[in-house]
Amino acid sequence: MVTGGAGFLGSHLCEKLISLGHEVLCVDNFYTGTKSNLGALLECSRFELLRHDVTFPLYVEVDQIFNLACPASPVHYQYDPVQTTKTSVHGSINMLGLAKRVKATILQASTSEVYGDPEVHPQPEDYWGRVNPIGPRSCYDEGKRCAETLFFDYRRQHKLSIKVARIFNTYGPRMKPNDGRVVSNFIVQALSNRPIAIYGDGSQTRSFCYVDDLIDGLIRLMDTPDEVTGPINLGNPTEFTIMELAELVIELTGSRSAIEFKPLPADDPRQRQPDITRARETLAWSPSVPLRDGLIKTIAHFEDLLRESAVA
Ligand code: NAD
Ligand code: UDP
Ligand code: UDP
């Protein structure tokens, strides 16, 4: 079962699991996900789609649960912040209760946001983070932190088989033009020759992982022995400033876009880079797609979208 399976990462995960021969139940309330993300999977007899909100109980029979349900872009998770916290907290309780009843292994899509605006760089898993509990990002950050607490308490209290992945910024085809995250925003702006809007002065950093690498890491983590619980950082350790990203997108699209500066949102982390030593050692995993190559594929996806909307 993949919760949030109609979203950006979830749809790539469903596709990969089907290609590996699994039966997949995709559970999604279509808050940010869409049926169109699932494409040909909808015709596959081993694939099933269920419209359901994970904040409500769910009784199904499954043997692995990938819990990805939760809006991931700041624009979307801040639109209804109470629902965001509910999705992480109530949603995790329900999925953990389900995992407990059917004795399934359950993997949580946690996030680098649990480190907040970090004062340790790069971030190893044993760093506890620096998160504002009452700011505009808190519904997401604290919801995900509480979900991790629930996962480890279900492990200690009920002996559940759990896996916690801390995912760092991931990009690729199937991000929505209105997703609001930086890679999709910059590509859409560049392709339409509109100004590229950098928040702040562009000196803040992120490390961008291509979606195929990330999905490979999630599946490797799910397939580890019971004693491997994580948390495990999954992300690309190559760090870029947001200015460097803007310049690369302009170069690769051949855009005439200018760069403009807008105010930095509250609590925007200054730096972010995963320490992936644990993933290398435990999963024999490290990302293989350089930013330039991943951006070329992602730009091609947005070019197709723009062509389709022009035809329509
Ligand atoms: P996304 O918004 O594309 O996908 C989230 C999916 O969850 C959507 O299909 C949405 O409809 C669904 N959903 C939301 N609330 C739900 C609910 N209450 N019940 C059922 N379904 C619900 O985002 P994404 O980038 O694919 O992220 C997937 C997961 O990975 C999220 O949990 C996110 O926090 C985590 N993550 C993503 C990134 C990233 O860079 N993409 C980084 C860190 C963590
Ligand atoms: N739950 C669920 N599906 C199941 C089993 C449980 O959605 O197959 C939900 C149930 O509604 C409960 C939650 O998961 O509120 C936590 O379950 P657990 O067994 O841990 O706690 P309890 O039922 O004792 O509250
Ligand atoms: N950002 C930007 N322009 C945009 C969107 C984002 O400059 O159109 C910046 C944002 O302020 C942040 C970084 O890019 O510093 C990454 O933002 P995103 O929302 O993609 O991810 P997150 O902040 O959750 O890592």
Q: Which CATH number fits the domain that encloses residue 183?
A: 3.40.50.720
pLDDT at 266: 86
Helices 291-311 & 242-253 angle (0-180, nearest 10): 60
Ligand (nearest to CA of 75): 3
pLDDT at 175: 94
Between CA 234 and CA 30 the distance in angstroms is 25
Tell me which residue has its CA closest to atom 14 in ligand 1: 70
Q: Which residues contact 49 (CB under 8 A, 6 or more apart)?
A: 5, 6, 26, 28, 35, 38, 42
Q: Where are the alpha helices (DSSP H) in 7-80?
A: 8-19, 74-77
The enclosing H or E element of 306 equals: helix 291-311
| Least confident residue range of 169-178, 190-199, 303-312 | 303-312
Choose among 297, 27, 34: nearest CA to 187: 297
Tens of pLDDT, residue by residue over 167-193, are: 999 999 999 998 889 999 999 999 999
User: What letter represents residue 16's amino acid?
Assistant: K
pLDDT at 74: 92
pLDDT at 46: 98
Between CA 213 and CA 235 the distance in angstroms is 8
Tally the domains of the chain.
1
Between CA 120 and CA 109 the distance in angstroms is 22
Domain hosting 263: range is 2-311
Beta bridge partners of 110: 166
Between CA 91 and CA 29 the distance in angstroms is 12
Q: Which residues line ligand 1 (CB under 6 A)?
A: 3-4, 6-10, 28-33, 53-55, 68-72, 87, 91, 109, 111, 167, 169-170
Tell which one of 27, 67, 98, 153 to mutate to probe ligand 2, the residue whose CB is within 8 A of the most ligand atoms: 98
Q: What share of the chain is helix, strand, coil (3-state, %, to 5)?
A: 45, 15, 40
Tens of pLDDT, residue by residue over 64-112, are: 999 999 999 999 999 999 999 999 999 999 999 999 999 999 999 999 9
Phi, psi of 232 (to 5 degrees): -130, 125
Residue 259 has pLDDT above 90, yes or no: yes
The residue behind tokens 């009784």 is: 59
Tens of pLDDT, residue by residue over 218-251, are: 999 999 999 999 999 999 999 999 999 999 999 9
Mean pLDDT of 17-41: 97
Instruction: Give the confidence band of 309 by pLDDT, cuts at 50, 70, 90.
Output: confident
Kindly report the average pLDDT of the chain as a whole number. 96
Between CA 139 and CA 129 the distance in angstroms is 16
Residue 21 has pLDDT above 80, yes or no: yes
> Is the ipTM of this structure higher than 0.90?
yes
Active-site residue (options: 31, 77, 115, 140): 140
Mean pLDDT of 258-267: 94
Choose among 86, 79, 78: nearest CA to 143: 86
pLDDT at 311: 72
- Tokens for 73, please give them: 């872009």
Between CA 116 and CA 31 the distance in angstroms is 25
pLDDT at 308: 85
Higher-pLDDT residue of 268, 101: 101
Q: Which atom of ligand 3 is nearest to the CA of 204?
A: 15
